[in-house]
Chain A
Amino acid sequence: MFCTLILSEKREAAERIARALDDSGTPKKLVEHGVPYFEAMQKNRQILVVPAIGHLYNIAPERGGRFYYPVFNILWKPTSQGSRETHVRNWIKAISSLSKEASEFISATDYDIEGEVIGYTILKYACGNKEANAKRMTFSTLTMIELRDAFQKLSSNIDFKLAEAGETRHIIDFLWGVNLSRALTLAVKNWGKGFAILSTGRVQAPTLRFLVDREKEIQSYVPTPYWEVHAKARIGGKFYEIEFEESKLDSEDMARKIVEACLGREGLVEDVDTRIFKQSPPTPFDIGTLQAEAYKLFGFTPSRTLTIAERLYLDALISYPRTSSQKFPPQINCREIIMSLQKSREYAAFASELLKKRDLKPNEGNRDDPAHPAIHPTGDLPEKIRDSSQLKIFDLIVKRFFAVFSSPAIKEGIRITIKVNENTFFLHGRRIISEGWLRFYEPYGQADEVILPTLEKEQKITITEVSSKEKYTAPPPRYNPASLLKMMDDEHLGTKATRANIIDTLYQRGYLREERMAVTELGFNVIETLEEYASGILSVDFTRNLEDKMETIEKGGGRKEEILIEAVQRLKTILEDLKNREEPIGEELGNAARRARVDESVVGICPVCKTGNLLIIHSMKTGKRFIGCSNFAKGLCNASFPLPQSPYTVKSLKRNCKVCRWPMVLVKSRKRQPWNLCLNPYCPTKEHQRRV
């Protein structure tokens, strides 16, 4: 019988494809070398659908150990990462042996740069050079209808341009990452007084530099004083804050004079300015705007939102989330999707209202993606009970989808100008005339109304209070996960698929701390050292330029070889710079790593002796850890406190208990949510625990 092998990216996707293609809708679940796959039967055709587990092949050095340097000879090798290694090998064996039965090959991995590379490498290396003859099945949702349709409309080739672009990116990122990281690590090693594994990368370094620059601004910020004038007016028995025309005054003297001139005076309405304005519906979600919105509304990190969205995609509830499109091409039957959503009690009312529109036109954004439309619900509804974060993201995507098709909100803005003894004050109001899309997007959109009483020109107003307030300018805010993602997007650092990962890596390497994204001492020093000795690594221009060039391969203009040669030449110059200044680099980074290690163990000022530092100490004798005071060695303080032992991990929090002001540590374990532990055994927050 004619046998077709379909390669999919994940198990859930494989099962759905098999279900869509099997004549009876009940494919067989089989196992090969411990790897699950599915068999769908059609009239005279057997279809095997086999999943991958992410990248089964990765770029690796042709030879050499962990510190072999420099690396320029590379090849695709089975992914080797600790415990995953045997797993991957079995997977390759399974696909390999199934491929022997097949006479037709179809790649049905996610249709984007990473998916294309996954398909390409498996077809080439596991199936034995089948990439040239393989077909491509593309889809943006995992619904039965779309999958069947996609199977009817196979492309005769995989997307070679996309695969080439992906391969180029993998090679360049690997060469940069491995060589730069090893050069830094070796510099410290050759310095001879310390050891530290340091890591940096093509996108990682310029990204960290942005964070460092912001941190520098904050840490060297000197606030300056300014004054605000505040006044209150009584209108019809109610009190209203009115704003002085200049929000910031430079001198106390000026502020005082204004207050004196207005005290005890009456206000006079000079002008009532009413303006009607339209607020267009939001644009459809691409992955970046979804991540930013989910962070703003729910506090989800970008990587968490992506994981949840992928889960929803695999369950065919939403379309493919890794998209940069803010458009819905005409092939998508939006009316049908809204009709399906109408079946849900929650969405029925909104759906029916939209369906009354003769012309459903989305308010599309500018960004586009050739492979996928903007993120949208498929019309399928969640069957089983889901965890609340999945429901939140799903609800957000559905309501955004509705809002996009809705009408603009119409608002009225009112500005009342009030003169108080020659000084100008304003009273601002906002009123919603027509809610439009805001109602569909509730509770995610804000109506924020400020209703004002009706006022006439020349009307007199009682001013009840005038005062001035001294304030201080503030430094710029730290990046948060959403604003960092936006900055990376604006600067073309990384791709939509890799950005969230890069942020995670910065945390894992110890360059960032906490949700507020404070740069650590180590992060600072790495960037400072690179800035001084190898600033080429940090060039945003170069990274952006390369990013754009790699995109040209995808679009069919650029050539892999040319771009690789350029990138490698650039890398070699940087590596030479690093080599020539290896000594000072090694010394500075070595010292920085040592300081970082000390810094990591410092928990806070010792509350017993008030001069020493409390440290996390690992006892050589017992192998246990505890908290001790740095003054112990000097014989000045023997404060010590117990800590949870392994499998818990303990980290310095650099924060004090809100109740008793003692230092706290962060305790983490695999099974439980991390928690903050106050070191004070008699802290009032522990009252409850002691009694039990």
Chain B
Amino acid sequence: MKLCPICDRKAEGEYCNLHETAYKNIVQMFEKWQSSKGIDWKEYLGRIEVNPNSGSWVLEVCKYLLSREETS
């Protein structure tokens, strides 16, 4: 069984369904940030990671994605 790399819950695709929803929202909202602030993906993740209105699963996905960016 595949596990979510963030929380060890059962994963259907890449993440568990909770982190999957958060991930989808992150991807979906990027366009808006990009057009209004002209920032790239990595900067975007950094910005929502420190935003107090971001949900906790969003924060967890951001942290995970950023740590992957660093190692790659």
State the A residues within 8 Å of B (CB): 216, 218-226, 250-252, 472-475, 524, 528, 588
Q: Are A220 and B58 neighbours in the complex by a CB distance under 8 Å?
A: yes
* Minimum CB–CB distance for B20 against chain A, Å: 9
Q: Are A472 and B51 neighbours in the complex by a CB distance under 8 Å?
A: yes
Considering the chains assembled together, what is the distance between the CA atoms of A253 and B17 in angstroms? 37
The CB with the most chain B CB atoms within 10 A, among A223, A473, A528, is that of A223
Q: Are B37 and A222 neighbours in the complex by a CB distance under 8 Å?
A: no
- With beta carbons under 8 angstroms apart, the residue of B36, B48, B51 that contacts A250 is B36
**Across-interface contacts of B56 in A (CB, < 8 A):** 219
Given A472-B53, A475-B55: A222 touches B36 (CB 8 Å cut-off): no
Q: Are B53 and A216 neighbours in the complex by a CB distance under 8 Å?
A: no
**Across-interface contacts of B28 in A (CB, < 8 A):** 222
The 5 closest A-B pairs by CB, nearest first: A223-B53, A219-B55, A220-B22, A221-B55, A222-B29
Residues of chain B in range 1-24 having any CB-CB distance to chain A below 8 Å: 10, 17-18, 21-22
**Across-interface contacts of A475 in B (CB, < 8 A):** 53, 55
**Across-interface contacts of A473 in B (CB, < 8 A):** 53
Q: Are B36 and A225 neighbours in the complex by a CB distance under 8 Å?
A: yes
The CB with the most chain B CB atoms within 10 A, among A222, A223, A251, is that of A222
Q: Are A224 and B33 neighbours in the complex by a CB distance under 8 Å?
A: yes
Q: Are B37 and A221 neighbours in the complex by a CB distance under 8 Å?
A: no
Considering the chains assembled together, what is the distance between the CA atoms of A588 and B37 in angstroms? 42
**Across-interface contacts of B32 in A (CB, < 8 A):** 224, 250
Considering the chains assembled together, what is the distance between the CA atoms of A250 and B37 in angstroms? 10
Main secondary structure of the interface of B (DSSP, over half): helix
Considering the chains assembled together, what is the distance between the CA atoms of A609 and B33 in angstroms? 38
**Across-interface contacts of B48 in A (CB, < 8 A):** 222-223
* Minimum CB–CB distance for A220 against chain B, Å: 4
- With beta carbons under 8 angstroms apart, the residue of B18, B26, B29, B35 that contacts A216 is B18
Taking A219-B58, A588-B10 as known contacts, 17 extra A-B pairs with beta carbons closer than 8 A to each other, sorted by chain A number, are: A220-B18, A220-B25, A220-B58, A221-B58, A222-B28, A222-B29, A222-B48, A222-B55, A223-B53, A223-B54, A225-B37, A250-B32, A252-B37, A472-B51, A474-B53, A475-B55, A528-B17
* Minimum CB–CB distance for B29 against chain A, Å: 4
| Closest partner residue, chain B, to A253 (CB atom) | B36
Considering the chains assembled together, what is the distance between the CA atoms of A344 and B54 in angstroms? 53
Considering the chains assembled together, what is the distance between the CA atoms of A72 and B51 in angstroms? 53
5 chain-A/chain-B pairs, Cβ below 8 angstroms: A216-B21, A219-B22, A221-B25, A223-B51, A472-B51
**Across-interface contacts of B10 in A (CB, < 8 A):** 588
* Minimum CB–CB distance for B28 against chain A, Å: 8
Residues of chain B in range 42-62 having any CB-CB distance to chain A below 8 Å: 48, 51, 53-58
Considering the chains assembled together, what is the distance between the CA atoms of A528 and B42 in angstroms? 32
Given A223-B48, A224-B32, A528-B17: A218 touches B55 (CB 8 Å cut-off): yes
**Across-interface contacts of A224 in B (CB, < 8 A):** 29, 32-33, 36
Considering the chains assembled together, what is the distance between the CA atoms of A220 and B35 in angstroms? 22
Considering the chains assembled together, what is the distance between the CA atoms of A222 and B37 in angstroms? 15
* Minimum CB–CB distance for A76 against chain B, Å: 43
**Across-interface contacts of A223 in B (CB, < 8 A):** 48, 51, 53-54
Q: Are A222 and B21 neighbours in the complex by a CB distance under 8 Å?
A: no
Q: Are A222 and B35 neighbours in the complex by a CB distance under 8 Å?
A: no
* Minimum CB–CB distance for A174 against chain B, Å: 33
**Across-interface contacts of B22 in A (CB, < 8 A):** 219-220, 222
* Minimum CB–CB distance for A613 against chain B, Å: 16
Q: Are A219 and B53 neighbours in the complex by a CB distance under 8 Å?
A: no
**Across-interface contacts of B21 in A (CB, < 8 A):** 216, 220
Considering the chains assembled together, what is the distance between the CA atoms of A524 and B17 in angstroms? 12
Considering the chains assembled together, what is the distance between the CA atoms of A588 and B22 in angstroms? 21
**Across-interface contacts of B58 in A (CB, < 8 A):** 219-222
